[in-house]
């Protein structure tokens, strides 16, 4: 049948298709053009939106990769993470955030002894004076030790030229030497494994300055190897970050020097270690000075009394108590 024609000017084909001959405002050419333009602009914005989201995703992946790369050090496996507790960034107690210590703060506070710690060290030197005193590290507090050790020999080994310039050498038997420490703290774990497996690191080694042990300091002044030391202080190098020179070689070398016979001397050597709250200082002290030789402790300061080494022993520590002389 032909379509039915209405009187309003519009005619309908079937039930759902409507043709108009004008008059309806909602279907004007103006509104139709606006809709087409909006649809056209939407198609142009879609690729731009996809590009922005892709860039953000790429940046996020790069950030994750950088964090992962920074957290994994090629020098240190998960086994040695405990040795780096002394090198973690400081924590801001007020804000809860983490921050790296500034160089000025490090130089001023990293290895300073508290008054009570210094009293322990000063009394020890006073009791043994005049004596041979060897100090790894140079702090302003230690200047007084030269006066305390009047008539004896006091030797400072320091790697910071600025500190060396602040004290007068040859004052009251004082000798100051500039030394270089090359091994960073992050290698502590591997060096400890090396020392345990390598016979060259055992206390039977006679010539420390010719030793093949990686922990041995071989370029120290000749006086250091010749003298029998009554007191050895380990408070350097700074060793406060993974990249900074660590105290592994100084602790090992102090342990070897303490066990060496001197000319006409077979007495015990007192070894004083500072910053034992740090894992490297603590574990290397246990390894080369031995728990049974610990005679005194105050704050972050430990004092070991080490006997002359027995020639038939290949280990630093024994199962028997070798301390003689009691506490300080």
pLDDT digits (tens, 9 = 90+) for 294-327: 999 999 999 999 987 665 667 899 765 444 444 4
Tokens found for residue 297: 């402790």
pLDDT for position 51: 82
Coil/strand/helix, residue 322: coil
Tokens found for residue 41: 């602009």
Q: What residues have CB less than 8 Å from 65, skipping those under 6 apart?
A: none
Which of 100-104, 263-267, 315-319 has the largest mean confidence?
315-319
Give the residue among 157, 160, 58 at the shortest CA–CA distance from 106.
Answer: 160
Residue ranges per domain, the chain? 27-68, 114-306
Phi, psi (5° rounding) for residue 314? -105, 5
DSSP string, 179-230: -----BGGGHHHHHHHHHH-GGGSTT-S-GGG---TT---SS-HHHHHSPPS
Cα 257 to Cα 111, 232, 253, distances in angstroms: 23, 9, 6
Give pLDDT tens digits for 24-68: 444 455 555 555 555 556 666 777 777 878 777 787 766 655 544
Q: What is the dihedral of CA 108, 130, 310, 157, to 10 degrees?
A: 30
Average pLDDT of span 248-254: 98
pLDDT for position 100: 44
pLDDT for position 6: 45
Has residue 172 got a pLDDT over 90?
no
Tokens found for residue 294: 């610990």
| 114-306 CATH fold | Rossmann fold (3.40.50)
């Amino acid at each position: 049948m032909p379509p039915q024609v209405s009187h309003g000017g519009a005619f309908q084909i079937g039930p759902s298709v409507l043709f108009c001959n004008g008059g309806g405002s909602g279907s004007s050419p103006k509104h139709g053009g606006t809709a087409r333009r909006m649809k056209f602009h939407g198609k142009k914005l879609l690729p731009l939106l996809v590009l922005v989201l892709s860039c953000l995703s790429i940046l996020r992946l790069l950030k994750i990769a950088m964090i992962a790369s920074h957290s994994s050090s090629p020098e240190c496996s998960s086994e040695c993470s405990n040795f780096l507790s002394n090198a973690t960034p400081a924590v801001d107690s007020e804000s809860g955030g983490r921050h790296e210590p500034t160089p000025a703060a490090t130089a001023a506070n990293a290895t300073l002894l508290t008054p009570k710690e210094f009293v322990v060290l000063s009394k020890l030197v006073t009791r043994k004076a005049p004596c041979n005193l060897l100090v790894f590290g140079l702090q302003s507090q230690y200047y007084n030790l030269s006066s305390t050790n009047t008539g004896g020999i006091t030797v400072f080994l320091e790697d910071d030229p600025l500190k060396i310039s602040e004290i007068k050498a040859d004052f009251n038997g004082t000798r100051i030497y500039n030394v270089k420490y090359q091994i960073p703290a992050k290698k502590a774990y591997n060096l400890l494994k090396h020392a345990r497996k390598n016979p060259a690191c055992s206390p039977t080694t006679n010539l420390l300055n010719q030793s093949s042990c990686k922990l041995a300091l071989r370029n120290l002044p000749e006086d250091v190897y010749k003298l029998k030391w009554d007191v050895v202080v380990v408070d350097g190098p700074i060793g406060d970050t993974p990249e900074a020179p660590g105290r592994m070689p100084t602790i090992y070398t102090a342990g070897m020097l303490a066990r060496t016979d001197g000319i006409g001397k077979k007495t015990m050597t007192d070894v004083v270690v500072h910053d034992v709250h740090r894992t490297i200082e603590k574990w290397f002290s246990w390894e080369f000075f031995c728990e049974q030789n610990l005679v005194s402790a105050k704050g972050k300061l430990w004092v070991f009394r080490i006997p002359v080494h027995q020639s038939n022993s290949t280990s630093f520590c024994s199962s028997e108590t070798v301390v003689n002389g009691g506490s300080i």
